[in-house]
Amino acid sequence: MNRRRFTKQVLAGAAGLTIANPGLANIILTQQKTQLGVALVGLGYYSTDLLAPALQQTKNCHLAGIVTGTPAKAEKWKRDHNLSDKNIYDYKNFDSIVNNPAIDVVYIVLPPSLHAEYVIRAANAGKHVWCEKPMAITVAECQQMIDACKKNNVTLSIGYRMHHEPNTKQIIKYRKELTFGSVVKVEAAAGYFDSRTDHWKQKKSLGGGAMYDMGVYPLNATRYSTGLEPIAVTARASTTRPAIYKEVEETMQFELEFPGGITAICETSFGKNMNDLQVTCSKGWYKLSPFQSYSGINGITSDGKKLNATIPNQQARQMDDDALSIINRTPMLVPGEEGLKDIHVVEAIYRSVAEKKKVEIR
């Protein structure tokens, strides 16, 4: 059977499945595409100012739809991005996305407390899922998300864009190849001064707090810098603005212990600007500063090598990489399991704060 005839038969079969199993039909149709349609769920700053422009630069995917609870936003996005009415959803009719073959991927860009619900709903609709960090609030939620995607035979990727960034990939290569010897110590800090006084990042019920939002950057960096999972943590939470940060921490300091005596000293905050990663090894060191900004990642090694490779757009690279993995049916660079491992440590960090002592991470 030639390829053209085979493709026609597959598409015909998928059309028949639309009535019996729309989710399965979505998966079959996606496998025939060379460019995937992406729907953004949540149209805040990250979607509006970063993801939508990035999707104008991608090769393997494009902006196909949106999900928003604000009619005025829907109308503006419809005009600005030439979106069809049938590809615009709200949170009430979101599940009907199962019947839309133009949308292959749903990108969840909501407050963390909503990640699990919408990842699971998207997976049940037979859509591949990309989810912003942090993956979820609890390990249990993370596992439910992974299970839902596996059950529906769709992929799940977490939006850790630094894994796709060339300078970050270079320091991971240094670790793997022992270019500067074995890792001894990691120092990582990420934060900014947030002047807002009423935002979801300051609300516990929505998954706010510096640790969930910015803290996963230094945490994840310690893991990809060492290639290991931490075995213990000592943490301390604090705030300089208790009237604003009543429910969650403004700053979190945490020290991780890894197998082999490796240590990591980390800090994250909404009260001060920080953006540094330094890895000390047995035969030298290397550092990135900034290590997690949206552009301009720069660094240097102990022997004077500059780390300043550039790419046009980090978010575009991330989404193109993930789309290509779906199209080629290859493993995701940052699967759900990676996000779960971070939340496993985050839970231990909060236990350490509550118990005011070092806790083991099992």
pLDDT per position as a tens digit, 12-67: 444 454 445 667 667 676 767 899 999 999 999 999 999 999 999 999 999 999 99
Catalytic residue flag (residue 217): yes
3-state secondary structure of 122: helix
Residues contacting 270, CB < 8 A, separation 6+: 191, 192, 193, 194, 201, 210, 213, 214, 245, 250, 251
pLDDT reported for residue 31: 65
Query: Residue 336: what are its φ and ψ, rounded to 5°?
Result: -55, -30
| Gap between the Cα atoms of 107 and 132, Å rounded | 8
pLDDT reported for residue 5: 52
Name residue 341's amino acid. Answer: K
pLDDT reported for residue 1: 45
Q: Which of 127, 133, 287, 341 is catalytic?
A: 133
Question: What residues pair up with 128 in beta bridges, in sequence order?
Answer: 105
pLDDT reported for residue 27: 65
Hey, how many other C-beta atoms are within 10 angstroms of the C-beta on 205?
11
pLDDT reported for residue 3: 47
pLDDT reported for residue 8: 46
Query: Residue 159: what are its φ and ψ, rounded to 5°?
Result: -75, 55
| Gap between the Cα atoms of 120 and 123, Å rounded | 5
Give me the domains of the chain, ranges plus CATH numbers: 3-160 (3.40.50.720), 166-310+336-360 (3.30.360.10)
* pLDDT tens by residue, 320-358: 999 999 999 999 999 999 999 999 999 999 999 999 999
Closest residue by Cα to residue 167 from 293, 269, 80? 293
| Segments of the chain with pLDDT less than 50 | 1, 3-4, 6-15, 17-19
**Max CA-CA distance within the chain?**
70
Q: Which of 107, 212, 217, 224 is catalytic?
A: 217
Closest residue by Cα to residue 159 from 207, 102, 222, 115? 115
Catalytic residue flag (residue 160): no
